[in-house]
Chains A and B, each alone.
Chain A
Amino acid sequence: MKTQIKAKSLGLDHPSVKKVIGIAEEIMSQNKVLSIETLYNRAKKRLKFPKNGLLSIIQLLLDKKILIEGSKFSKGTILKNQCRKRLYNFIMNYPGVHFSILRKRVLCDDLGNVGSSGQLIWHLEMLLRFNSIKKTKVGNYTIFIPFDMDEEVGKQCFLIRDNINKKILNLLINQNSIKKSDVYKLINEKREIVYYRLKNLMEQELILPLKESDKEILINSAKRDSILEVLEKSKDK
């Protein structure tokens, strides 16, 4: 006996529709390419539905966006997702950005609702997996930089984005050495805030203690050029 499908009562809860979805799931779980052709052929063979009825079901699944156009991701296609593209562009424009900043600045929809951390990390992982960006550690912080960027430059970008760090480095770049205890006075900032920065900058070897006296600090001459370059770029922004 032929199975009858009445187009008017078709909905996602209809048993025939569920059976076709089941076959689509089966094709996907077998890692085979799901297409109208494969789905139609298998469903026709298995379910023996009349052709028009089966096509109506497939049309319903397409219309209701249960079946969507798409294939496996590639480096070229991952940026088709608007949110991911925004994230990628932000990292390109602000290399060395921290996760918490990305969450607040990028993962907002058009109405200003902040997305979840999970969603952000998913997109970050996708960009990492397809070598669009890379991550590195600066002290306690994981930062994200463009894939082609040197990690050292990426770290400097992160550090120099902080205004006080920038002031310290600007100060040191033109001087041979400065007493640690004088820095906060020279840049007119609170002592403890400046000491925290100096500790970070020393850990990252952007500044070094003077050999003769560890109370004095100077810029790391090996990194001087790249620091200068990042400082210049930060002025442009």
Chain B
Amino acid sequence: MTLNWNIEVIFDFAIAFAGLICTIITYLPPKTQKITSLNFIRLSIFGMFIFMFFDGLAFLFVNNFIARLTGLMLIPTTLCIIIGVNYTIRETYYSKGFVLVFGLSILFLFVSLQPNATIPSTESGYLRIEWVGLFNIFGILFTAIAVLYMFYWGIKTWLNAPILIKKEASLFFTGISITTILGLVFYFMYLFESFYILISNLLILIGVIIFMVAILKEPKLLYILPFTVHRILVKDREGAPLYDHDWVESNITETIFTGFLNAVQLMSQEVMDIGGLLDINLEEGILIMRESKFVTVGLVATKSSKLLRESVIKFTRDFEEKFERELKKSIKDTSQYKDAYDLIVKHFSNFPYKIVKSKKQPLLLTGKYVKIPLELETKLRSVFTDEEEYEAIKTELIKSPLSMPTEFINLYNDLKHEIDQLSGEDVKYLNSNQSNEE
């Protein structure tokens, strides 16, 4: 039997091979491998590998049956990418798009069983199997749907990627754009001139390679979620804040936020037992509260998600385990719970950090790490005996004009001298003055 080797077969196998590598790559590096959306997207990439492999085989053996199977591979590929995107956006497989494609799949299946759905023909100087009639139309339609969903996923990922991996996200998006949009454009052009299928295949191959490079550089790109987590706060059963972490800039102090959680907790005591989880819809987001034996954890995000709820449950469990000794002793010193950051990394590493919006955005080192002249440091330390207060002032010091420390010390000495010099009568007078403020 003579094999029908031609350039399109070579391209098909090359893309299929790249698709296989791509599937393996998306499986190996991610830390959080059990993300449902990623599983379906991975299946879709694997479907593309099978599709291209079967396409190559169909041409190689000039086999109509394999050609029809190739077309039908578009059904699981398209459905998987739709489910993957649906899970990413709203954590359910179901959407109108899914129902529509599912319905069309039955028609596509029926059409594939009709005679003359595929025929051998010679185009661009070599023998290939051509899809014809309704089978061809359905093939194009399913390809277009899969491509547009893939592109949508790419653009969502790119837009939501945190600034630190924006460069890789751009590479990732470039790869997806070349594979999907450019590939699709030339695929449409192929309808008029068969030569363009080779360019389409070449672009798909290049795009997949770029996509793989981006994933290898930054595996997190595969599970960036299109919503923002604002803040998590852990408080003890008496209402004292123990740990606070922000993903976005917030003007609400830890104390106010704790007070808010306490109020919500008080109001929802009847529905929230120990071990319970509560979702409270806010105007522009959601508050997830988890109550356990020693602590209550509150998390604010732009929308609720199963993944997020599971992360809160696991975080709460680990927090109690890690700080069991401190919690049993009712220690309220927040510095004792600083290591909870490791749990943030463990459970929330796939939620983008959005405080810094640009790589050029000015930053400052917090007080603890700012170096100031020894003489000034000695003076400031004599004024600010509390370490936290001292660090807060040092943080401000670096943002202040150069003359600020000297002027501050002068004012401090003046006012201190004034208070020391006030006579008993003066103090009485001031107290009377003060009583009128109250």
Contact = CB atoms under 8 A, between A and B. Distances in A.
Nearest to A110: B255
A147 interface: no
A69 B353 CA distance: 13
A162 interface: yes
Interface string A163-206: 11000000000000000000000000000000011001000000
Contact of B399 (A39, A59, A70): A70
Contact of A28 (B217, B370, B430): B370
A226 interface: no
A21 to B, nearest CB: 5
A179 B110 CA distance: 114
Interface residues of A, number: 67
Given A119-B393, A162-B436, A63 B245 contact: yes
Contacts of B364: 28, 34, 67-71
Contacts, number: 183
A222 interface: no
A21 B429 CA distance: 51
A42 interface: no
A110 B256 contact: yes
A40 B255 CA distance: 34
Contacts of A35: 359-363
B224 to A, nearest CB: 14
Nearest to B423: A140
B283 interface: no
Interface of A: 21, 24-25, 28-29, 33-37, 39-40, 51-52, 55, 58-59, 62-73, 80-82, 94, 97-101, 104-105, 109-111, 115-119, 121-122, 124-126, 128-129, 139-142, 158, 161-164, 196-197, 200
Interface of B: 163-165, 217-218, 245, 249, 251, 253, 255-256, 259, 341, 344-345, 353, 355-356, 359-366, 368-371, 383-386, 389, 393, 395-396, 398-401, 403-404, 407-408, 411-412, 414-416, 418-419, 421-423, 425-426, 429-430, 432-434, 436-438
17 contacts: A24-B363, A35-B361, A36-B360, A37-B359, A63-B345, A70-B363, A73-B396, A82-B253, A97-B437, A101-B430, A101-B434, A105-B437, A118-B384, A121-B415, A129-B401, A129-B403, A162-B433
